[in-house]
Chain A
Amino acid sequence: MKQPPYHMRQNKAVDRLMFIEVIKRLDKIGSLSEYTYYGLGGPYLEEFRLLYEFFPDIEMVSIEKNAEIVKRADFHMPCGKLRLEYADSRDFLIHYDPKDKKSIFWLDYTNLSMHTFEDFQTLLPKVTANSIIKLTLRAEPRDYKNEDDRISFRRKFEAFMPDSIVYPPVEFEKLAALLQEMLQIASQQILPAINELVFQPMASFYYTDGDGMFTLTGIVCERNQWDNIRNHFGDLPFSNFNWNKPKSIDLPYLSTKERLYLERHLPFNGDPGEGLLNILGYSIDEDRSKSIAKFRQYADFHRYFPYFIKAIP
């Protein structure tokens, strides 16, 4: 059974740590022990390992519909706070009852389908106030290269389309922005302004480790509490509280030697793109402008950038 090595994906690894930054700040609006974390941990349970490292008090549930993967996940169980739930995620959400407990959900899909939106809309009215929902979905522009696929996308997601003209754009950045708009519409359909609860975005990114992905993290909170909550999350790195365009995570491939050399110059005073290029003295991508963009990414995310080191067990 083939399973992609999620733990080796550097951009996703950064996204995972950005999520940790959100969870870290939850203790400013309540106790972390009030939360249960729900995720689709797959066979390696990577995010759960990380969560336990940072937040040993949180109860955790990994949902998995494949019996063999459940066995493999059981083998990788990182701690005693995690429960494996053998269920389809849709069925799980239908039967999910928070019983007044706060939840943190990461619905980490590898595809883009109506289920993505339906699951989101199922969950929104069920979670208690101050629960967190993170969605990751496929945002791969090459899926929409031909006319039929673009028409099919429009037909499929008509109910969440922001206007009557839009088709899935071929630019990654714009496709991610469109998916964010569609999720915003989906959230407003379920929690309109007359509702006491609202879904507020906190961070959104797009990245590729092979296939393009978009990810949005937000909080379901009482509408009149949002300003207060936002203040507590004011220092969240790369926050997106106003449905602004999602930020790219596109880290360069650098050797350990290059990284250690650059790190002593960080944080950089001025434009780190030009600055780090000059310090290293050579391009690291196809051309100068792409190299500058990559160095900027490195400066932005270097603190969250994992080291993948070859080891012989």
Chain B
Amino acid sequence: MSVLHKVGRQVKYEPVEASPVKSFFVSMLTRDIKLEEAILDLLDNCVDGILRSPKRKNQEKPFAGFKADIVFNKDLFMITDNCGGIPWNLHEYAFRMGRSSDRPEDAPGTVGVYGIGMKRAIFKMGKDCLISTRNGTDRYEVEIKPEWIADETNWKIPVNAARKTMGEDGTEIVIGDLYAGISSRFGEDVKAFKAELERMVATHYAFIIDKGFTVRINGDIVKQYPTRLVFSKQSQGKEAHAIRPFIFKATTEDGVEIFVTVGFTRPIPSLDEIENEQDERQYSSIDAGWTIICNDRAVVYCDRSELTGWGEAGVPRYHNQFIAISGIVEFKSDDASKLPTTTTKRGIDASSPLYLQIKNKMREGMRLFTDYTNKWKTRADESKKQISAGKLLSLDEIKVEAESLPFAATKRTIPQGDQYRPELPMPKQLEPHNRRISFIKGVDEIKCVSKYLFDDDEKEPSIVGEKCFDLILREARK
């Protein structure tokens, strides 16, 4: 409709049509999110369902007994859970585009904030969707048809009593009429897509799966790989010097609980290993770096960039020599809007004042371990003994151990909290009394000398070089 009507030489101003355009929501909302992330949004809804569920009893494994089954093929996508279903009093929120301000209060810890996750996931995948849910006595279904998406004027979605009988409280979402690009990822590319989705679930849901939640993808149970840090209980002569993680914990005035820990996941690499890594890339992915968890979901996984403090404020840039360093930051809040996450819930809001404060602590802790690595890299064998003496502990296990550690209050710095700074072992001589000798020789020449010295032409070049030096040293000292 034209805004301006010329009446003679006069212009008549009319109200502008500013109502939302449905096709905009359907096409634009879905562009900013990866398919795998859209599916993780659906899993987030499952976990929010568990947090609302009265069935949650087990304190140690609060998600035990709850499960989500994801099935996809070239024709459909389906997710079925037993996580409590969608209460009728939340139906407006669940199916409306965006969250209204008068929404009833939700259970503590749920992460749904913006009211777009489920809809975005559905519109990302296909044009036909049936959502069936059972929550106590509420048993209903919502069907979104291609005609509804095409109709720009109709914003009401019909709700019917459920035709499907569900054995327990939960939700089933079936999406059909898949878009061609989605259908091919679930069909022809299924191997690569399933592998990638499984990897993302295993990493982003590691802590929830560890607490008992079961996720199946096309029949296969997803196994988690949570980060574990070396924690040495051995005194090694002096109680104070042992490989343990740095820990910082605090609670903000508005109730966000924070737990930061950083340490070693494995022995530090020797100079030879670092050099070999440059020559031949050993790993397709590396589990070093920072993982940030918001209400049990990992929103950042193994980051090694400035986002998590690498390469800024005195912390060196990430390099393979730091492959053994990992950290975890946990934010917990009953009100998810207080958490420093992005709208996709798969990233951290880098400009959040809370996160910027915590990042100072992350860098402070990280420097202890980059410094240790630099001090010991020429003595990697000795360091290996120190690190291998410890046990690998999960985040929850570290929290248990932390109770008996001597924490110091950090009242004069921001953020305020309590922290434990481990006294990491230091070399007896700060300046190493050894120096590294390195030189380049032809492969055939090294093999020739190796054969001469060891009757074996396959010895490591460093061993061949060292033997040569030892022989000449003996000569020189005669």
- Using a CB–CB cutoff of 8 Å, the interface residues on chain A facing chain B are 1-2, 66, 68, 113-115, 117-118, 155-165, 181, 184-185, 188-189, 192-194, 198, 243
Are B198 and A193 in contact (CB-based, < 8 A)?
Answer: no
Interface string of B218-231 (1 = CB under 8 A from A): 00111111000000
- Using a CB–CB cutoff of 8 Å, the interface residues on chain B facing chain A are 181, 184-185, 187-189, 191-195, 198-199, 201-202, 217, 220-225, 280-285, 287, 443-444, 457
Q: Which of A158, A162, A192, A243 contacts B189 (CB 8 A)?
A: A192
Question: Using Cβ atoms and an 8 Å threshold, which residues of chain A touch B184?
Answer: 192-194
With A164-B202, A193-B187 known to touch, is A158 a contact of B285 (CB < 8 Å)?
A: yes
Bound-state Cα–Cα, A162 to B187, Å: 15
With A68-B444, A158-B283, A158-B284 known to touch, is A164 a contact of B223 (CB < 8 Å)?
A: yes
Question: Using Cβ atoms and an 8 Å threshold, which residues of chain B touch A2?
Answer: 457
Are A185 and B283 in contact (CB-based, < 8 A)?
Answer: no
Are A185 and B195 in contact (CB-based, < 8 A)?
Answer: yes
Bound-state Cα–Cα, A213 to B469, Å: 39
**A144: min CB distance to chain B, Å:** 16
16 pairs of residues in contact across A and B, judged by CB atoms under 8 Å: A68-B444, A115-B280, A155-B287, A156-B282, A156-B283, A159-B284, A160-B284, A162-B191, A162-B194, A163-B222, A164-B201, A164-B222, A164-B225, A165-B221, A188-B189, A193-B185
> Quick one: closest B residue to A181, CB to CB?
B191
Q: Give 3 closest A-B pairs by Cβ, nearest first.
A: A193-B184, A188-B192, A159-B284
Are B220 and A163 in contact (CB-based, < 8 A)?
Answer: yes
With A161-B199, A162-B195, A165-B220 known to touch, is A114 a contact of B189 (CB < 8 Å)?
A: no
Q: Which of B198, B284, B285 contacts A163 (CB 8 A)?
A: B198
Q: Which of B187, B192, B199, B457 contacts A164 (CB 8 A)?
A: B199
Question: Using Cβ atoms and an 8 Å threshold, which residues of chain A touch B284?
Answer: 114, 117, 156-160
Interface centre among A66, A184, A188 (most CB of B within 10 A): A188
**A57: min CB distance to chain B, Å:** 35
Bound-state Cα–Cα, A188 to B195, Å: 11
Are A158 and B199 in contact (CB-based, < 8 A)?
Answer: yes
Are B224 and A164 in contact (CB-based, < 8 A)?
Answer: yes
Bound-state Cα–Cα, A198 to B199, Å: 24
Question: Using Cβ atoms and an 8 Å threshold, which residues of chain A touch B202?
Answer: 164
Bound-state Cα–Cα, A185 to B191, Å: 6
Question: Using Cβ atoms and an 8 Å threshold, which residues of chain B touch A155?
Answer: 283, 285, 287
With A68-B444, A193-B189 known to touch, is A160 a contact of B195 (CB < 8 Å)?
A: yes
> Quick one: closest B residue to A68, CB to CB?
B444
**A311: min CB distance to chain B, Å:** 30
Q: Which of B192, B221, B224, B444 contacts A192 (CB 8 A)?
A: B192
Are A159 and B285 in contact (CB-based, < 8 A)?
Answer: yes
Are A114 and B280 in contact (CB-based, < 8 A)?
Answer: yes
Bound-state Cα–Cα, A159 to B195, Å: 8
**A155: min CB distance to chain B, Å:** 6
Bound-state Cα–Cα, A115 to B223, Å: 27
> Quick one: closest A residue to B188, CB to CB?
A193
**B37: min CB distance to chain A, Å:** 17
Question: Using Cβ atoms and an 8 Å threshold, which residues of chain A touch B187?
Answer: 193
> Quick one: closest A residue to B187, CB to CB?
A193
Bound-state Cα–Cα, A268 to B202, Å: 51
Are B198 and A185 in contact (CB-based, < 8 A)?
Answer: no
Question: Using Cβ atoms and an 8 Å threshold, which residues of chain A touch B195?
Answer: 160-163, 185
Are B191 and A184 in contact (CB-based, < 8 A)?
Answer: yes
Bound-state Cα–Cα, A50 to B311, Å: 56
Bound-state Cα–Cα, A243 to B190, Å: 12
> Quick one: closest B residue to A188, CB to CB?
B192
Question: Using Cβ atoms and an 8 Å threshold, which residues of chain B touch A118?
Answer: 281
Bound-state Cα–Cα, A58 to B187, Å: 37
Are B280 and A113 in contact (CB-based, < 8 A)?
Answer: yes
> Quick one: closest A residue to B200, CB to CB?
A164
**B195: min CB distance to chain A, Å:** 5
Bound-state Cα–Cα, A179 to B156, Å: 51
Bound-state Cα–Cα, A104 to B282, Å: 28
Question: Using Cβ atoms and an 8 Å threshold, which residues of chain A touch B193?
Answer: 188
Question: Using Cβ atoms and an 8 Å threshold, which residues of chain A touch B287?
Answer: 155
> Quick one: closest B residue to A157, CB to CB?
B284
**B376: min CB distance to chain A, Å:** 21
Bound-state Cα–Cα, A158 to B220, Å: 17
With A188-B191, A192-B192 known to touch, is A165 a contact of B223 (CB < 8 Å)?
A: yes
Bound-state Cα–Cα, A68 to B457, Å: 16
**B218: min CB distance to chain A, Å:** 9
Bound-state Cα–Cα, A184 to B189, Å: 9
Question: Using Cβ atoms and an 8 Å threshold, which residues of chain A touch B224?
Answer: 164
Bound-state Cα–Cα, A68 to B445, Å: 12
Bound-state Cα–Cα, A194 to B180, Å: 9
Question: Using Cβ atoms and an 8 Å threshold, which residues of chain A touch B181?
Answer: 193-194
> Quick one: closest B residue to A243, CB to CB?
B191
Interface centre among A155, A161, A189, A193 (most CB of B within 10 A): A193
**A227: min CB distance to chain B, Å:** 13
Bound-state Cα–Cα, A114 to B285, Å: 11
**A177: min CB distance to chain B, Å:** 12
Bound-state Cα–Cα, A192 to B193, Å: 10
Are B194 and A163 in contact (CB-based, < 8 A)?
Answer: yes
Question: Using Cβ atoms and an 8 Å threshold, which residues of chain B touch A114?
Answer: 280-284
Question: Using Cβ atoms and an 8 Å threshold, which residues of chain A touch B457?
Answer: 2
Bound-state Cα–Cα, A304 to B151, Å: 65
Question: Using Cβ atoms and an 8 Å threshold, which residues of chain B touch A193?
Answer: 181, 184-185, 187-189
Bound-state Cα–Cα, A33 to B477, Å: 68
**B276: min CB distance to chain A, Å:** 11
Bound-state Cα–Cα, A89 to B281, Å: 15
**A21: min CB distance to chain B, Å:** 26
Are A189 and B192 in contact (CB-based, < 8 A)?
Answer: yes
Interface centre among A114, A117, A159, A163 (most CB of B within 10 A): A163
**B21: min CB distance to chain A, Å:** 27
Bound-state Cα–Cα, A162 to B188, Å: 15
Bound-state Cα–Cα, A137 to B358, Å: 47
Bound-state Cα–Cα, A2 to B185, Å: 47
Query: A162-B191, A184-B191 given. 14 additional CB < 8 A pairs?
Result: A114-B282, A117-B284, A157-B284, A158-B285, A161-B195, A161-B199, A163-B222, A164-B201, A164-B220, A165-B223, A188-B189, A188-B192, A193-B187, A194-B181
**B154: min CB distance to chain A, Å:** 32
Bound-state Cα–Cα, A159 to B284, Å: 6
Question: Using Cβ atoms and an 8 Å threshold, which residues of chain B touch A165?
Answer: 220-221, 223
Bound-state Cα–Cα, A164 to B188, Å: 21
**A243: min CB distance to chain B, Å:** 8
Question: Using Cβ atoms and an 8 Å threshold, which residues of chain A touch B220?
Answer: 163-165
**A150: min CB distance to chain B, Å:** 14
